[in-house]
Amino acid sequence: MPAALILIADGTEEMEFTIAYDTLVRAGVQCTSAYVALDAASATPTAPSVARGSRGVNILPDTYLSPQAHTPDKFDLLVVPGGAQGAETLSQSSPVQHLVREFLSSGKYVGMICAGSLAALTAGLPNQPLTSHPSVKSQLEKAFVYSEQPVVVSGKLVTSRGPGTAFPFALTLVELLCGKEKRAEVARPMIFPPGTFE
């Protein structure tokens, strides 16, 4: 069974987190949510309290992020959601930057959506195609081949634009981990309107 590590911080965009998590679970992917504290020194080994999302929705993560425990050999995918404050916390976190590089160098997938794509910059990833929320385009377009496609796949790096592209982003991750048939199987009962992606 594939496994995904999905990051969350205070200020994470709720739709990007929950749609990725929910869609991956529907595909049979084992998901673990890991809280990244603004002040890493405040983290304890026990389960964290709730993360307050960008719209005030409280989400209870499974655990604190631990670079020692949450290593690429235990997961097939790392997901970095957006949300302005949450994305800043995640992208500026040296453990997150390290994990992004480690997952990619280990041949594992990394998904970034919305302002979460800033982690590609702060992790020092090489010039390659990617996308993001328009609000952070100016920070990324000089270092990467910037695209305005809803989802951009560049090797093992998968990026997307925002809450409105969260479903195609999540379904692309399902397809990469589990195949086209599983993507179709997961999408069908979600009942997307005719003419939209699937």
Torsion angle defined by CA atoms of residues 86, 92, 98 and 99, in that order, rounded to the nearest 10 degrees: 0
Q: Which of 16, 88, 102, 175 is catalytic?
A: 16
Per annotation, catalytic residue among 70, 133, 175, 178: 133
> Which helix (H) or strand (E) is 158 found in, with range?
strand 157-160
> Among this protein's residues, is 16 annotated catalytic?
yes
- Would you call 31 a catalytic residue per the annotation? no
Task: Quote the tokens at residue 18.
Answer: 């929950």
14, 70, 102, 114: the catalytic one is: 114
Q: Is 148 a catalytic residue?
A: no
- Residue located via tokens 């695209």: 147
Which one-letter amino acid corresponds to residue 28? G
- In whole angstroms, give the CA distance from residue 122 to residue 131: 15
Write out the catalytic residue numbers: 16, 114, 133
